[in-house]
Amino acid sequence: MAEKLEDLNLPMAVVTRIVKEALPDGVAISKEARTGLAKAASVFVLYVTSAATNIVKNKNKKTLTGQDVLEAMKDIEFDRFVEPLTEALELYKQAMSARKSGAGKKKDDEEDTEVIEEE
């Protein structure tokens, strides 16, 4: 668990980057607004985490998964975000799968190269 309350806040740099990407060109955001958004986002993440943790506990599980988060989003009545989050989760899983298979292939290729060089 976090030692200090500030440890529970999202990094300001990350929030700033996300906000700047979401804003149209030519629109700026004040430091005060960035701070407010960062705190609001942190509270929201903690709220969803708490709801997902309750789901995990009710199922007598020990690991919180992406599916638990999606179920929590429905429980806290953020249903309209479930579909885009499901799509994002699937894209993430595909990227991680490709990354793992790409890393394994690269390692195999390197091992083949090493064998050829030793001969």
pLDDT class of 2 with cuts at 50, 70, 90: low
Q: Are 34 and 15 in contact (CB under 8 A)?
A: yes
CATH code, residues 1-77: 1.10.20.10
> What pLDDT does 113 receive?
45
How many distinct helices (H) and strands (E) make up the chain?
4, 0
What value does the mean pLDDT take over residues 61-80? 95
Q: One-letter amino acid identity for 17?
A: R
What value does the mean pLDDT take over residues 62-85? 95
pLDDT tens digits, 7-42? 778 888 999 899 999 999 999 999 999 999 999 999
Question: What is the Cα–Cα distance from 62 to 50, expressed in whole angstroms?
Answer: 14
- Go through the chain and tell me how many residues it has: 119
> What pLDDT does 57 receive?
96
Contacts of 76 (CB under 8 A, 6+ apart): 47, 48, 51
> What pLDDT does 117 receive?
42
> What pLDDT does 9 receive?
84
What value does the mean pLDDT take over residues 87-108? 80
pLDDT tens digits, 40-62? 999 999 999 999 999 999 999 99
* pTM for this entry: 0.71
Average pLDDT over the chain reads 85
Question: What is the Cα–Cα distance from 59 to 111, expressed in whole angstroms?
Answer: 44
How much is the CA Rg of the chain, to the nearest whole Å? 21
Question: What is the Cα–Cα distance from 114 to 44, expressed in whole angstroms?
Answer: 50
Q: One-letter amino acid identity for 84?
A: P
